[in-house]
Structure 1
Amino acid sequence: MGAMEYDVVVVGGGAAGLTAAMVLARACRRVAVVDSREPRNAPAAHMHGFLSRDGMPPAHLLAVGRGEVFGYGGEVVKDRVLGVERTPDQGFTVRLAEGPALTTRAVLVATGLRDELPEIPGVRERWGDDVLHCPYCHGYEVRGTAIGVLGGEARELSLHQALLLRQWTEDLVFFPNRIALTDEERERLAARGVRVVDGEVARVVVEEDRVRAVEMKDGREVPRTSVFVAPRFVPRDELLRSLGCAVGDNGWVSVDPTGRTSVPGVWAAGNVVDPRAQVITAAGAGSVAAIAINGFLVEEDVDRAVADYRVSGEMFSNLVERRVSEAVVGDRRHGLKAEVAGPQP
């Protein structure tokens, strides 16, 4: 373990990964962050709900975070991780796409997730601007306006959005698209004051770099100024799965409250294991994981120190015993010589 370059390698330089790296660097750990610089929230101009950082551009937050990690002696490597493998001494080798491999005692995977969007023209083009998914992140900025909710593959989340967003506006339209609503669901939407427009959605109409309407396949247009859609969340968990981390019934890698996986020495934090984590939530998860990882390393350090202490103690005892034995033998030899020589005149 003494040959390991790092105590911890963090894979992913978002809010979770950078927070963890800063906490570990402040704990005087040798830590490196491998960051491909492809954050999930890159399309968004601003982030919200982060106390003292509300409205900050996501890229600015990450730049500040990298600077803080550097300031405490941590390293940030711009590269992509191709794989992570166990080493014979129970550490890990982290293989990079461009740079040399890194060796480490523990790994934190904070690679996030990707949003799989419905193939509706206009959705991807305006994603992160006025096509959105999180009311808590962006609802306030579009409050009181004409909002639409597009039904997608994530049926439950789509219906939840339709009921939830009514809190931000009185002018809300739900487009079930290919979702077949039950009578009870229609009743709940009507009672909540949500208008339902049936039929298949053809596109989100974009004019002058902004959403203007939702167009149906039959040619109808429903004027809207922003649209919410429920993506399918796909975790970027290939590294975790390749290491053999256990997966829960929900199809996501299982972790305990500290982010510990089923594989010793491997943690995960942020959207890679929690699709609901916002930026501030991911940062908190990174801090919790870092403290747990440091505790794990402390236990290893103590176990190693105890083993070394026992060996050195045994060596010292053997040395003392040998010297005492040599002294006793020497005394006996001296006495024997005196007896042979007899009394001196």
Structure 2
Amino acid sequence: MDTQWDAVIVGGGSAGLTAGIVLARAQFTTLVIDGGEARNAPAAHMHGYLSRDGMAPAELLRTGKAEFTGYGGTLTHATVTGAARRADGSTSLTLAQGRELQARAVLVATGLADELPEVPGLRERWAVDVHHCPHCHGYEVRGTSIAVIGGPMVEMSVHLAALLRRYSPTVTFCLNGIELNGTERDRLTAYGVRLVDGEVHRVVAEHGTLTGIELGHGETVPCDTVFVAPRPRPHDALLTALGCRKDPLTGLIAVDERGATDVPGVWAAGNVVNPRAQVVTAASAGCVAAIAITGWLLEQDLAAAGNRSADIGGARR
């Protein structure tokens, strides 16, 4: 594997692979480093992606990797452990194996981890009958008995409870420590959401099937499906190491509409900078960033060509 690249993309999900295809088609030497830890890997299907609705996430990635390498891109399975800026403006990336790579441009598309509330039994049912996104899974569980477990992401938890009422006539919001004011309670109750106070003790499953939510005071709320609002933990250590600025309001790495950070030559796309991005949204962000990187690299090449021409002209004189 060469050590000098026009573009290195860290992350082989929908954002990274889409960007890789765009850059490889533009004839830039492009490397995608895939750590193999896709956020939606546990899910059986993805939704909301035109012409790919219902496709397994793993199948989408297999197809994307074949397309990327088919255009001449290089794919490697590795973990990037360090990143640093070089004096010439390029970026140095260190792999876990100790190999060092240099890239004129870097796109970080490393995604995030979903931090679930500490409820026994919840993680074991994750992506089976415990979900977090109604737009991804709500239609498939429409009409079932749904319970929403409150957590640290209070605003999103309340939003889930209301939105899921669109999918089912039986929605129970287990507050699990969330305090609602009178107006919030009245609105949700009037909309048909049952509110249950008290802490959630555990998620109950029998014979491999979810059956309910056990509360601390002994009551069990029967349900077929559970939704929670996880706390997103972006994998942004590389961006931080490169000195990219964070938005003081969101705590996320700040990027412009093209995915550019405030560090020249460094871009970010997908869930690492937008936790709410679905697969199709992340792919779109990867495409936009790649087109911006293409223009940036081209400008560098034009400037270098102009300098060489000037040097030759001066030497002739």
Q: TM bucket by the smaller chain? A: over 0.9
* 2:245 matched residue in structure 1: 246
Contact 1:122 1:204 in 2 (8 A): yes
Paired with 1:164 and 1:55, the residues of 2 have a C-alpha distance of 21
Contact 1:8 1:32 in 2 (8 A): yes
* 1:276 matched residue in structure 2: 276
Structure 2 residue 187 is matched with structure 1 residue 171: no
Superposition pairs of residues 65-104 of structure 1, within 5 angstroms: 65-98=64-97, 100-104=99-103
Once the 2 structures are TM-superposed, how far is the Cα of residue 311 of structure 1 from its aligned partner?
1.0
Contact 1:79 1:99 in 2 (8 A): no
TM-score normalised according to structure 2 size: 0.97
State which drifts further: 177-186 or 285-294. 177-186
Superposition pairs of residues 122-271 of structure 1, within 5 angstroms: 122-249=121-248, 250-271=250-271
Contact 2:10 2:109 in 1 (8 A): yes
* 2:309 matched residue in structure 1: 309
Paired with 1:5 and 1:125, the residues of 2 have a C-alpha distance of 43
Instruction: Kindly tell me the number of residue pairs found equivalent between the two proteins.
Output: 315
Paired with 2:90 and 2:174, the residues of 1 have a C-alpha distance of 51
Paired with 2:176 and 2:251, the residues of 1 have a C-alpha distance of 26
Once the 2 structures are TM-superposed, how far is the Cα of residue 99 of structure 1 from its aligned partner?
5.8
Once the 2 structures are TM-superposed, how far is the Cα of residue 315 of structure 1 from its aligned partner?
2.0
Paired with 1:118 and 1:204, the residues of 2 have a C-alpha distance of 12
* 1:322 matched residue in structure 2: none
SS for the counterpart of 2:124 is coil
Contact 1:174 1:196 in 2 (8 A): yes
SS for the counterpart of 1:255 is coil
Structure 2 residue 294 is matched with structure 1 residue 294: yes
Once the 2 structures are TM-superposed, how far is the Cα of residue 278 of structure 1 from its aligned partner?
0.2
Contact 2:147 2:173 in 1 (8 A): yes
TM-score normalised according to structure 1 size: 0.90
Paired with 1:98 and 1:161, the residues of 2 have a C-alpha distance of 42
SS for the counterpart of 2:125 is coil
- Cα displacement string for residues 239-270 of structure 1 (whole angstroms, at most 9, x for unaligned residues): 10111101112111100000000000000000
Contact 1:19 1:65 in 2 (8 A): yes
What letter matches 1:252 in structure 2?
Answer: L
- Cα displacement string for residues 159-207 of structure 1 (whole angstroms, at most 9, x for unaligned residues): 0101111111111110111111111110011111101111111111112
Instruction: Tell me which structure has the larger Cα radius of gyration.
Output: 1
SS for the counterpart of 2:45 is coil
Paired with 1:89 and 1:262, the residues of 2 have a C-alpha distance of 17
Once the 2 structures are TM-superposed, how far is the Cα of residue 5 of structure 1 from its aligned partner?
1.5
Task: Classify 1:22/1:213 alpha carbon distance in 2 versus 1 (closer, same or farther; 3 Å).
Answer: same
Task: Classify 1:233/1:242 alpha carbon distance in 2 versus 1 (closer, same or farther; 3 Å).
Answer: same
Task: Classify 1:311/1:4 alpha carbon distance in 2 versus 1 (closer, same or farther; 3 Å).
Answer: farther
Once the 2 structures are TM-superposed, how far is the Cα of residue 210 of structure 1 from its aligned partner?
2.2
Paired with 1:246 and 1:134, the residues of 2 have a C-alpha distance of 29
What letter matches 2:127 in structure 1?
Answer: G
SS for the counterpart of 1:125 is helix
Paired with 1:21 and 1:209, the residues of 2 have a C-alpha distance of 40
Once the 2 structures are TM-superposed, how far is the Cα of residue 4 of structure 1 from its aligned partner?
6.6
